[in-house]
Chain A
């Protein structure tokens, strides 16, 4: 304990050099911490939003675009597909669930997603207020979107065309908020969910809803059957023409991954993309960038190690006499060397704390920036196990740099003390 205190005082007997070394070390360490944190949070965000979606089926085009737009809602979708083709997928014996999604409108940058109740259920979403929709033009709003847009149950608004903010407004068709979702920490938080039919209603000429109205107008018991029939027919008629943007697919069996995408890609005019494949492709592309950052952090750490090495070496040279005196007073060489190693360990510890704090700040800043864009949800102070690498690295670098100076301290000759004239 006393050795810790002495090492601490020796460390701060050179405040400028010590501060410089801590700054250098913590810069390198914070870059490392930042990389680890972002990688961890990205993985978590991907995993949360993926939530067991095995494939996304949509219009032909870039599979990554399909995944990014359909699962994470951070890109535009490649195009639309026919609703009937998506419905057909449900009959495939390999498929457990198909969730159709219809994109096209937004409210101040927050996407309005036409879908079925299964979408919210799939993410285990629960309502904080209100209820789920039971008719077109009713909207259930994600927690973050509701907060940012200031929506509450009963609010009404009209969406704008397109997926980013702006675009012309569909002034004549107003949505009504019927529910607000509890925060789920996933993609639903920044979406506005509504019935598939809402999107058709907003975008189609009023003719189609009129056919439906006609069915509703039919009155009397005699006409009931006919009316139902008519309604069903008009429904299937319009279904044939109707489109959705994509469908999220869950397999019944992992074996489906072998055949289903190929089947879709070859026998239909749609494509099936696997999120797992596309995300690992994306991370590989990002990997190049993080490798550069990691190398940069490595260079910083190496520089810091050199600086610590030089500082401790000169400290030993300066204190040769003092150290020799300690030997003269009976301190074994190991105690003298240990004192220096402790000093280095203090340095590493302080730098680790500073580096981790700085790294968390960087990660927080990035999360804040992304959240401004309504992009991927990352953030919050997290401590993934892998982050222990940072203090480990700090001690390794600082104590490693101290080894040679400590050896010098170990070998300090007391004779020099007697002979210094």
Chain B
């Protein structure tokens, strides 16, 4: 779950960013949308405990984030968060398998070959385990990166622009894959995107309501605007 109230953040010499309040139940989807420069990255950074909020409260997976910093935040992130970056950042020095093993190492866990194999199988890329990222197609690479993101069975999965530079068909596949993967883990899925297609690709729930919460951000007024 994710809950924010009165969340604010300001970069040095930057505009003060106000974020609308949001409440997302565990296992549901949050669509973080808005034009570039509206603060999507900042919101993700706040949700990942990479920066501390200037004001307000942000609770992610039951943890109030303003209380976290340094090594504690790193450990919390390792435990709780999965992340699918826009550029997938699979290391070319390592095979697919080793890329996932490195994620385990980064999070400070012992190597678990079975978990890696399972994660790759769940995304249908286990037969690519010994390839280098350069030998993968775009779709395969995204699956591998997603396998890495959910390898540690996170409670929250952050996806940053997962459909950027994908054609309609591939974008649909990517969103379906994200939804399925998050659902399988009962993880809260946050999709940060400025791509209007994403909202249409998320199916409504049983009651016919939209299957996601929305957090629509707007570009802040220039400095001196709102007092």
Contact = CB atoms under 8 A, between A and B. Distances in A.
Interface of A: 2-3, 6, 9-10, 12-13, 319, 321-322, 324-332, 335, 414-415, 417-421
Contact of B79 (A12, A321, A330, A331): A330
Contacts, number: 84
A383 to B, nearest CB: 35
Contact of A330 (B74, B87, B89): B74
B36, B45, B71, most chain A CB atoms within 10 A = B45
B102 A330 contact: no
Contacts of A319: 91
Interface residues of B, number: 36
9 contacts: A6-B94, A322-B89, A327-B106, A329-B103, A329-B152, A330-B106, A330-B108, A418-B44, A420-B86
Interface string B79-123: 101010111010111100010011101111001000000000000
B174 to A, nearest CB: 18
B75, B85, B86, B108, most chain A CB atoms within 10 A = B85
Nearest to A418: B41
A419 B71 CA distance: 23
Given A325-B89, A329-B77, A415-B51, A6 B44 contact: no
Contacts of A332: 71, 74
Contacts of A418: 41, 44-45, 85, 160
A415 B98 CA distance: 25
B38 interface: no
B225 to A, nearest CB: 23
A326 B111 contact: no
Given A321-B87, A322-B89, A420-B87, A6 B105 contact: yes
A329 B91 contact: no
A418 B75 CA distance: 19
Nearest to B70: A332
Nearest to A320: B89
Contacts of B105: 2-3, 6, 331
Contacts of B98: 6, 9
Nearest to A330: B78
B77 A330 contact: yes
Given A326-B102, A329-B78, A415-B45, A9 B71 contact: no
Q: Is the interface of A mostly helix, strand, loop or mixed?
A: helix
A337 to B, nearest CB: 13
Contacts of B217: none
A67 B79 CA distance: 76
Contacts of B59: none
B146 to A, nearest CB: 13
B24 interface: no
A75 to B, nearest CB: 59
B77 A417 contact: no
Contacts of B29: none
A3 B98 CA distance: 12
Which 3 residue pairs across A and B have the least CB separation, nearest first?
A: A330-B78, A13-B93, A331-B106
Interface string B3-30: 0000000000000000000000000000
Contacts of B107: 329-331
Nearest to B94: A9
A330 B51 contact: no
Contacts of B75: 330
Given A2-B101, A325-B85, 5 more contacts: A324-B89, A330-B78, A331-B107, A415-B51, A419-B41
A9 B103 CA distance: 15
A332 B107 CA distance: 8
A325 B83 contact: yes
A6 B76 CA distance: 24
B43 to A, nearest CB: 9
Contacts of B93: 9-10, 12-13
A12 B132 CA distance: 14
Contacts of A12: 93
A421 B86 contact: yes
B48 interface: yes
A6 B87 CA distance: 21
A321 B89 contact: yes
A134 to B, nearest CB: 76
Nearest to B43: A418
Contacts of A417: 85, 89
A10, A330, A419, most chain B CB atoms within 10 A = A330
Interface in B152-169: 152, 160-161
A419 B111 CA distance: 30
Contacts of B202: none
Contacts of A6: 94, 98, 102, 105
B50 interface: yes
A255 to B, nearest CB: 70
A331, A418, A421, most chain B CB atoms within 10 A = A418
A327 B74 CA distance: 7
A328 B91 contact: no
A421 B161 CA distance: 9
A419 B94 CA distance: 25
A329 B106 contact: yes
Contacts of B152: 329
Given A13-B93, A326-B102, A420-B86, A414 B41 contact: no
A101 B83 CA distance: 87
